[in-house]
A = this chain, B = another copy of it.
Amino acid sequence: MPAASTASVLHQVPIELGDRSYPISIGTGLLDEPATWAGAPPAAHALIVTNTTVAPLYAARLQKALAGRHKAIHVVALPDGEAHKDWQTLNLIFDALLENASDRKTVLYALGGGVVGDMTGFAAASYMRGIPFVQVPTTLLAQVDSSVGGKTAINHPLGKNMIGAFYQPRLVVCDLDTLGTLPAREFSAGLAEVIKYGPIADMPLLDWLESNIDRLVARETAALAHAVRRSCEIKAWVVGQDEREAGLRAILNFGHTFGHAIESGLGYGQWLHGEAVGCGMVMALHLSQRLGLVGMDFVERVTALLRKARLPVVGPALGADRYLELMRVDKKAEAGEIKFVVIDRPGSAAVRAAPDALVREVIAHCCRPS
Q: Are A130 and B244 in contact (CB under 8 A)?
A: yes
Stretch at the interface among A94-102, A196-204, A207-215, A315-323: A94-102
A256 CB-CB contact with B under 8 Å = no
Q: Are A128 and B335 in contact (CB under 8 A)?
A: no
Residues of B within 8 A of A98 (CB): 156, 158-159, 162, 329
Q: Are A333 and B103 in contact (CB under 8 A)?
A: yes
A336 CB-CB contact with B under 8 Å = yes
Q: Are A128 and B331 in contact (CB under 8 A)?
A: yes
Point out the residue from B101, B105, B162, B336 that lies within 8 Å of A128, measured CB to CB: B162
Interface of chain A residues 142 through 168 with chain B (CB within 8 A) = 151-153, 156, 158-159, 162-166
A226 CB-CB contact with B under 8 Å = no
- Report Cα–Cα, A159/B105, bound state, in Å: 17
Residue in chain B with minimal CB distance to A166: B129
When all copies of this chain in the complex are counted, the total is 2
26 intermolecular pairs with C-beta atoms under 8 Å apart = A87-B87, A87-B91, A91-B156, A94-B156, A94-B162, A98-B158, A98-B159, A98-B162, A98-B329, A101-B328, A101-B336, A103-B331, A103-B333, A103-B336, A104-B334, A125-B165, A126-B126, A126-B163, A127-B162, A128-B164, A129-B153, A129-B164, A129-B165, A129-B166, A130-B165, A130-B244
The 4 closest A-B pairs by CB, nearest first: A98-B158, A44-B335, A126-B163, A128-B331
Known: A98-B162, A125-B165, A128-B162. 12 other contacts (CB 8 A): A44-B335, A95-B158, A101-B328, A103-B331, A103-B334, A104-B334, A126-B163, A127-B163, A129-B164, A129-B245, A130-B244, A165-B165
Q: Measuring CB to CB, which residues of chain A are less than 8 angstroms from any residue of chain B?
A: 44-45, 87, 91, 94-95, 98-99, 101, 103-105, 125-130, 151-153, 156, 158-159, 162-166, 244-245, 328-329, 331, 333-336
